[in-house]
Amino acid sequence: MQKVLITGAAGRIGRTLRAGLNSRCELRLMDRETINDPEVDDVHVGDVADVEWMAAVCQGVDAVVHLAGDPSTGASWESTLEVNIKGTYGAYEGARRGGAQRLVFASSNHATGFYEQEGVYTTPDMPVRPDSLYGVSKSFGEDLARFYVDEYGMKAYCLRIGSFQPDEAVKTRPNDRILSTWISYRDAVQLVWRCLQVESVDFGIYYGISGNKRAYWDTENARRELGYSPEDDAERFA
C-alpha cells in the first residue's frame, strides 16, 4: 500500500479523505491541532511552514496530499503569506527532502475566479485570473508544483476544488451557483485517489467538481488523463 501524508487532516476535506482513503492507503496525518482518529495512529502536530519539521514528517511517505491553509477568500496578506504560501513551500520541500515522489495540491476555483465573474466558461489551460489573495496563493501553489516536477522529477496534481459540501447544502442552497460548482464527498475522494494512482501523467491542473450538468469549469482533462468518472450531479437537487 502507498503511504500517504495528508496535511490539514483535521479540516472538512481532510476528514472526508481520511474516511475514504484509509482502506486504500497507509495514512499519516498532520495538522496544527490534535487529531483524534480511531483508525489512524500515525499523527503529527505542528507547523506546515516549518521545512525541517515537515521533512522529518515526510520520511517514508510515497505521496503528500496538501490541504493545509487558510481557506478564506477574505484572508489577510499576513495569513495568506504565512499559511498558504510559506505553508505550501514547506509541504513541497518537506516532501522532496523526505523522499516523497508525488504531490496532490488542494488548489481552488478562485485561482480563476474572475472568469466566473464575467461568465466565461473556463478550461484548465487558460491563464490564471485569481479573484483574491487566497486565489493568488493557490496560483502560486500550482506554479510551485510545476517547478518541483521540472526541477526534481516529482509528480504533481493540482485540484481546483469547487463547492465541497454535503448533499444537504445543495438541497437547502440560498442560490443556484452550487448546482454548477459542487463536488460531492465521494467524488472528491475518487479524484484524489485517481491522482495517487495515475502513472501516465507527471503534472496536471484539474477542476474538482462532480459531473454537474450546469458546470462552467471544464473537467475533460481529468476524465481523459486521470480516468476520473464522477458519480454525482448537483442537478438531481435542482
- Report the interhelical angle of 133-152 vs 86-98 (nearest 10°): 20
Name residue, grid cell 511552514.
Answer: 49
C-alpha cell at 25: 492507503
Question: Under a CB-based contact definition with an 8 Å cutoff, are residues 113 and 134 in contact?
Answer: no
Q: Which amino acid is at 126?
A: M
Continuous segment of H or E residues that includes residue 190: helix 185-197
Beta bridge partners of 106: 159
Angstrom distance (rounded) from CA 186 to CA 235: 16
CA 54/CA 199 separation, integer angstroms: 25
CA distance 203 to 205: 7
Q: Is the CB of residue 11 less than 8 Å from the CB of residue 72?
A: no
CB count within 10 Å of CB 138 equals 30
- Which residue is catalytic, options 92, 134, 185, 207? 134
105's enclosing H/E stretch is strand 102-108
121 catalytically annotated: no
Query: Which residues are known catalytic residues?
Result: 134
